[in-house]
Amino acid sequence: MKNILSFVEKSKQNYLDELKTLLAIPSVSSQSKYNPDTRKCAEWVRDQFKKIGMTKSQIFETPGHPIVYSELISDPKKPTILFYGHYDVQPVDPINLWTTPPFESNIRDGNLFARGSADDKGQIFIHFKAIEAILKHERELPINIKMLIEGEEEVGSVNLENFVKANKKMLKADLVLISDSAMYAKGLPSICYGLRGLAYMEIEVVGPNRDLHSGSFGGAVHNPIQALSEIIASLHDEKGRVNIPGFYNDVQKVTSKERQAFKRLPFSDKKYMKDLGVGELYGEVGYSTNERTWVRPTLECNGIWGGYIEQGAKTVLPSKASAKISMRLVPNQSSKKMEKLFTNHIKKIAPKSVKVTVKALHGGEAVVTPLESAGVKAAASALNKAFGKKPLFQREGGSIPIVVQFKHLLGLDTVLLGFGLPDENAHSPDEHLNLDNFFGGIRTAIYFYYELKNYIKKT
């Protein structure tokens, strides 16, 4: 162990140089102009697996972006980890708000800036280096490991479910391990045990059959931008609750024990507001900030467009307006059911003056993982050793749609061992990863692999 850890210590610069080459590939899964790069990124991951000493390393085609799978099985008596992560990244827009270009890594104040540094390339790379470091010093890993790295997580993992269904035997394991979430705060490592689900919708509002002169027609025709704004504004009430009848029907209530545990976590609304530059917080009355983002369902408008948005003024009453709206879901809500609920509600409230169409883009279910599992115990011990601090237990507001499928299809619980931080700008300009957490993550992964056999005994 000592040799392995001092090797990691010595390799820090090499790790950063190599990670930069992964971060330089613009594998934006939602934009087809990047398809060649996305494939190149899958190939990079496949080649990386060969380089670090994995035996099997293979690209699997899907109707969308390729899946990379690799494994190293040394002894059926050892515990087997199914590691899951994603090599795809979110779009970079608005590009002009990046301090340095998103696909050219830049280190400032102990942070590595690049799209994908925290979500999720930097975090999968942590495990690549942990495996490599062990194999450089030992003949074998202390575990069997199966690595499943997909290229469509940021677009809802639409082809992964079929892959898992078709490869149940190959993916057989004792637990799933994912590093694609955040620690509670700097210096406070944590284990995440809950994620929200998602239902992602798009609304299009069509008014007149063509764009009109806003002077000649304005006042006589319902402007689709206005109609859409009225619809969106009506979706929350004055208590910050989602104003769709039935929206909360299936919601699993949080226990008072869990609410008490949340209360004990260090949190300051004041600091949160200051960091975000907002003068007041907004949300469902009666819930704390952590509760609002972790255990309550919510609805957000992610984007809205229509009419003239180029330079200067153009007087126009546009024919169309659109918006992208997502609902974050909590345990016991069904994304399919919520898609229907949303669609029917929008149709019902749409004024006769416009035509409204609603489309569901993708979805996934919320998950809560058991805290007593062997994997969680091993992870807690590993974090304690690597960061010198016992981890906190937290839930998160984001979504990883496949986690529920791992449980349903493979019967596996997931350990969410994240090394990002909540303020690292995932999905936004200047995404970065803290380097202490990056190197601490490599140490944690190594400890975790060794700890696991103390908690999972096979006969």
At residue 451's C-alpha, the angle toward residues 447 and 454, to 5°, is 170
Q: Which of 71, 152, 153, 339 binds ligand BES (CB under 6 A)?
A: 153
Q: Choose the stretch contacting ligand BES; rule: CB under 6 A; options: 54-62, 180-188, 270-278, 316-324.
A: 180-188
Touching ligand BES, residues 330-369 (CB under 6 A): 362, 364
Touching ligand BES, residues 188-217 (CB under 6 A): 195, 198
What is the Cα–Cα distance from 264 to 96, expressed in whole angstroms? 40
Nearer to ligand BES, 317 or 329 (CB): 329
Question: Residue 256: CA atoms inside 13 Å, Cβ hemisphere, count?
Answer: 0
Residue 156: which of ligand BES, Mn ion, none does it interact with, CB under 5 to 8 A by kind? ligand BES
Closest separation in Å from C-beta 399 to ligand BES = 4
What is the Cα–Cα distance from 420 to 196, expressed in whole angstroms? 18
Is 75 a catalytic site residue? no
> Peptide bond before 94: cis, by omega within 30 degrees of 0?
yes
Q: How is residue 361 annotated by DSSP?
A: E
Q: Which of 88, 120, 150, 339 binds Mn ion (CB under 5 A)?
A: 120
- Of 71, 150, 152, 153, the catalytic one is 153
Backbone angles phi, psi at 5, to 5 degrees: -70, -35
Backbone angles phi, psi at 100, to 5 degrees: -130, 155
Residue with tokens 């809802």: 156
Q: Which residue is nearest to ligand BES (CB)?
A: 398
Q: Is 27 in the site for ligand BES (CB under 6 A)?
A: no
Q: Are 126 and 438 in contact (CB under 8 A)?
A: yes
Q: Are 367 and 331 in contact (CB under 8 A)?
A: yes
Backbone angles phi, psi at 79, to 5 degrees: -60, 145
Residue type present at position 231: I
At residue 303's C-alpha, the angle toward residues 297 and 308, to 5°, is 155
What is the Cα–Cα distance from 59 to 151, expressed in whole angstroms? 11
Residue 152: which of Mn ion, ligand BES, none does it interact with, CB under 5 to 8 A by kind? none
Nearer to ligand BES, 153 or 451 (CB): 153
Q: Is 396 in the site for Mn ion (CB under 5 A)?
A: no
Backbone angles phi, psi at 360, to 5 degrees: -100, 130
Nearer to ligand BES, 54 or 323 (CB): 323
CA-wise closest residue to 184 among 280, 302, 272: 272
Nearer to ligand BES, 306 or 418 (CB): 418
Residue with tokens 């952590």: 290
Long-range contacts of 273-280 (CB under 8 A, 24+ apart): 275/423
Touching ligand BES, residues 397-456 (CB under 6 A): 398-401
Tally of residues, the chain = 459
Residue 111: which of Mn ion, ligand BES, none does it interact with, CB under 5 to 8 A by kind? none
Q: How is residue 332 annotated by DSSP?
A: T
Nearer to ligand BES, 319 or 326 (CB): 326
Q: Are 144 and 73 in contact (CB under 8 A)?
A: yes
Closest separation in Å from C-beta 454 to ligand BES = 27
Could you report how far apart the first and last alpha carbons of the chain are, in Å? 25
Q: Are 142 and 449 in contact (CB under 8 A)?
A: yes
Q: Which of 102, 151, 156, 391 binds ligand BES (CB under 6 A)?
A: 156
- Binding to Mn ion by CB under 5 A, coded x per residue (else -) over 176-205, reads ----x-------------------------
Q: Is 29 in the site for ligand BES (CB under 6 A)?
A: no
Query: How many residues contact ligand BES, by CB under 6 A?
Result: 17
Touching ligand BES, residues 105-134 (CB under 6 A): 119-120
Nearer to ligand BES, 66 or 306 (CB): 66
Touching Mn ion, residues 430-449 (CB under 5 A): none
CA-wise closest residue to 185 among 271, 126, 278: 271
Q: Choose the stretch contacting ligand BES; rule: CB under 6 A; options: 13-21, 72-80, 153-161, 166-174.
A: 153-161
Closest separation in Å from C-beta 215 to Mn ion = 44
Is 413 a catalytic site residue? no
- Of 88, 120, 180, 365, the catalytic one is 88
Nearer to ligand BES, 120 or 174 (CB): 120
Nearer to Mn ion, 30 or 55 (CB): 30
Touching ligand BES, residues 373-402 (CB under 6 A): 396, 398-401
Q: How is residue 154 annotated by DSSP?
A: G
What is the Cα–Cα distance from 250 to 228, expressed in whole angstroms? 27
- Catalytic residue list: 88, 153
| Interface residue list for Mn ion (CB under 5 A) | 119-120, 180
| Interface residue list for ligand BES (CB under 6 A) | 119-120, 153-154, 156, 180-182, 195, 198, 362, 364, 396, 398-401
